[in-house]
Homo-oligomer: A and B are copies of this chain.
Amino acid sequence: MDYEKVIPGIIKKTDSKILLIVLDGVGGLPHSETGKTELETASTPFLDEMASKSSCGLTIPVLNGITPGSGPGHIALFGYDPIETQIGRGVLECLGIGATVGKDDIAIRGNFATITPDRIVTDRRAGRISTEENQEIVSLLSEKIKEIKGVKVSIYTVKEHRCAIVLKGSGLAPYVSENDPQKEGQPLKPIKALDRSSDKTAEVLSEIEKKVMEILMPVDTKAKGLLFRGISKLPDIKTFSEKYKLNAACIATYPMYKGIAKVVGMDVIDGLETIESEINALKGIYNQYDFFFLHIKKTDSYGEDGNFEAKVKTIEEADRCLSVIKNMKFGAIAITGDHSTPALLKSHSWHPLPLLINSPYAIQDDAKRLTERECAKGILGRIYSKEIMYLLLAYSLKLDKFGA
């Protein structure tokens, strides 16, 4: 990114504080009866007031028309190019269940599968075993597979037939072919190193594959083996402290977002469950940090369920809880989402999201609410999500002039 060529020469540490509030999946689409989106339907006195006093705009999470997953959505909000800086699916799966992934570790998504003794995959999801059965199997495997060739192996239940695996040890690289044949009735594919740096990873995974089959063969379950997918490592990126000279804290309830925040070097506040507890945490740590990432999860979940009314209610709840930040002092505040999740689509979408930036140096514009259509009138125009961090640094006066 061009920013990388400019920012290191002009970034400075100051006392001013930045608050980035992410309402997960908050963008929506009009309800067929009312013609209003979730944000337009909700009563949001706090967000309305903030929008009226801020510069507003719309954000494009990745590129026009591209629907981001949570990984790219957040990586972009943190100022990294979401195409250049991709977080592997194995890493995201592990972060999503709260597993710790170190910078030299290998993270993997696992599928329990039904596999015959002569290695034919007959069911790639092992009949979608229950999460309870998964937990029993993982507990058995964890007891018997602890370390292979000096590499620590950790297996975690995700859900139904899905698990996650972390390999911790030296000399590991993620460039190995996967054993999943993708089709049923086919044999397991050999796990091969795709470069010399990954030889050890391939050996360890082949050994795990073999041991899992040996251990599960006599057990009464359809899960007879493991398919490894999304074998990956943390991206090699600069942390918030290196990139922005910011001492950053993450206030979130869900493991996935806490995990991504850790990847970029934020301190993660643990034990939070409600929006109120998040706001209390913000107040509690206010003096210790100069950047706060505050993540509100609920707005997304109801969108995924197609529950328009519940999403509206959650937006209203977030609005009530957030209103106390009016009494706190920040150099710059951004409120936006990581992607849209219209109830109409029951899934993430590509639609641009409303954004407001509040600061003493932000021009108030015609956008009076934090909604898709109001923010389209905003003076910030349409920007890429990856630009928000740079605007926040500018509006909090943390950037010197570029060039004389």
Contacts and interface: CB of A to CB of B under 8 A. Distances in A.
Contacts of A373: 363, 365-366, 379
A161 interface: no
B387 A64 contact: yes
A363 B29 contact: yes
Interface in A361-378: 361, 363-366, 372-373, 376, 378
A379 B381 CA distance: 10
B391 A381 contact: no
Interface residues of A, number: 65
A110 interface: no
A404 interface: yes
Interface in A351-404: 351-352, 361, 363-366, 372-373, 376, 378-379, 381-383, 387, 390-395, 399-404
A376 B376 contact: no
The 3 lowest CB-CB distance pairs between A and B, nearest first, are: A65-B394, A69-B403, A65-B390
Interface of A: 2-3, 5-6, 10, 29-30, 35, 37, 58, 62-73, 82-83, 86-87, 89, 92-93, 230, 342, 344-345, 347-352, 361, 363-366, 372-373, 376, 378-379, 381-383, 387, 390-395, 399-404
29 contacts: A5-B83, A6-B62, A6-B66, A10-B66, A29-B363, A30-B364, A58-B379, A63-B390, A64-B391, A64-B394, A65-B390, A65-B393, A65-B399, A67-B394, A70-B403, A72-B402, A82-B403, A92-B404, A93-B404, A344-B361, A349-B361, A350-B399, A351-B363, A352-B379, A363-B372, A365-B376, A376-B379, A381-B381, A381-B382
